[in-house]
Amino acid sequence: MKEYLSASSPPKDYLEESVFPLLDCLYKHKAKATFFITGKVVEKYPELIKRIHQEGHEISCHGFSHRNLNTFSPSELDKEIEKLIELIENITGRKPKGFRAPSFSLNNQTRWVLPILSKHELKYDSSVFPARTPFYGVANAPKDYIYRISFKDVSKIDPGSPLIEVPLAVYSFLGIRIPIAGGVYFRLLPLWLYKILLKGAISQQGTVNLYFHPHELYQETPIPRQGSWLRKKIKYFGVKDSFKKLDNLLSIFNFDSIENILKI
């Protein structure tokens, strides 16, 4: 997360300020989480990575430079993932087990990443957003919570696949898939409505996969001056109340890491 006071001012990093309260909140509720972390963050904050690991949370791969998959060549991404795995393992003593593509950019045009994940012995991917959105999504992906993902078509199940897919949460209503996984969907909706949709998704899927960016939960998040009005609304609307909303969810629902859910 960065603050832009002017076009020439240096960015200020609020990562630790946003992650520390989140860790305290998870501890208060005896909840565990999976932290998908980029290589640049691992390099800059090794002590933070240690704390996350020591408190029993899972650390998995989110790319090295947070670029969408379609901006890479396969060989370039292969090297990034290898480097990130080594960094995480050197700090935590454990090899990461999962991967999430930045901006949920896994689709059939970028499915070439799946053999690379398997090559590096990752056990699962969590990049499929099984609903159509203006920016990403695999609308015809299985609605089942977990499936073995086909390397030929990310929307298909392959029982022999070495990779488990853990898609993001949606609520199905009259055949329409409503995204509720977190992020902007969590911030835009009033808490009472979000809880109704979340309970509905749990009744449909059993277990659901939610995501939250630390900067979305930090009440002092600065809003940059640059950028369109719509983009800033999408990215920053509801930030002031989001931490309290998550605290409420943690008091009602059981949260756990992906590796614990999958028992891997």
Interatomic CA distance for residues 127 and 102, integer angstroms: 8
pLDDT value at 6 more than 50:
no
Q: Is residue 234 part of a domain?
A: yes
Q: Is residue 248 part of a domain?
A: yes
Interatomic CA distance for residues 194 and 125, integer angstroms: 25
pLDDT-above-70 percentage for the chain: 88
Q: Is residue 163 part of a domain?
A: yes
pLDDT value at 5 more than 60:
no
Q: Indicate the length of the chain as a whole number.
A: 264
Rounded to an integer, the average pLDDT of 222-241 is 65
pLDDT value at 8 more than 50:
no
pLDDT value at 217 more than 70:
yes
Range among 41-50, 140-149, 237-246 with highest mean pLDDT value: 41-50
Taking the model in full, what pTM does it have? 0.90
Range among 29-38, 179-188, 226-235 with highest mean pLDDT value: 29-38
Domain boundaries, position 209: 10-253
- Tokens matching residue 88: 């995480």
- Between the alpha carbon of residue 98 and those of residues 35, 44, 84, 160, the distances in Å are 10, 21, 12, 18
Rounded to an integer, the average pLDDT of 92-120 is 97
Rounded to an integer, the average pLDDT of 51-62 is 98
pLDDT of residue 184: 85
Indicate if the alpha-carbon torsion angle 91, 95, 98, 103 is positive or negative: positive
- Who has greater pLDDT, 237 or 191? 191
pLDDT of residue 56: 98
Q: Is residue 3 part of a domain?
A: no
CA 113 to chain centre: 17
How many C-beta neighbours within 10 Å does residue 42 have? 23
Rounded to an integer, the average pLDDT of 183-206 is 93
Q: Is residue 4 part of a domain?
A: no
Q: Is residue 45 part of a domain?
A: yes
pLDDT value at 46 more than 80:
yes
Q: Is residue 141 part of a domain?
A: yes
pLDDT-above-90 percentage for the chain: 74
End-to-end CA distance of the chain: 32
Angle between the N-to-C axes of helices 46-54 and 74-92, in degrees from 0 to 180, rounded to the nearest 10: 70
Strand partners, 173: 176
pLDDT value at 3 more than 50:
no
CATH number at residue 184: 3.20.20.370
Q: What is the number of structural domains in the chain?
A: 1
- Who has greater pLDDT, 211 or 134? 211
Concatenated DSSP letters for 19-38? HHHHHHHHHHTT---EEEE-
The answer to whether 159 touches 179, Cβ cutoff 8 Å, is no
pLDDT of residue 234: 61
Give the pairing of strands 147-148 and 164-165.
antiparallel
Q: Is residue 110 part of a domain?
A: yes
Interatomic CA distance for residues 164 and 153, integer angstroms: 14
The answer to whether 255 touches 202, Cβ cutoff 8 Å, is no
pLDDT value at 230 more than 60:
no
Reported confidence tier of residue 14, pLDDT bands at 50, 70, 90:
confident
Reported confidence tier of residue 253, pLDDT bands at 50, 70, 90:
very high
pLDDT tens per residue, range 126-158: 999 998 887 788 888 997 779 999 999 999 999
Concatenated DSSP letters for the chain? -EE-SSSSSPPEE-HHHHHHHHHHHHHHTT---EEEE-HHHHHH-HHHHHHHHHTT-EEEE--SS---GGGS-HHHHHHHHHHHHHHHHHHHSS---EE--GGG--STTSTTHHHHHHHTT--EE-----S--SS---TTS--SS-EEBPSS-TTSB-TT-S-EE-PPPEEEETTEEEE-SBHHHHHHS-HHHHHHHHHHHHHHHSS---B--GGGG-TTPPPPSSS-HHHHHHHHTTHHHHHHHHHHHHHHS----HHHHHT-
Reported confidence tier of residue 240, pLDDT bands at 50, 70, 90:
confident
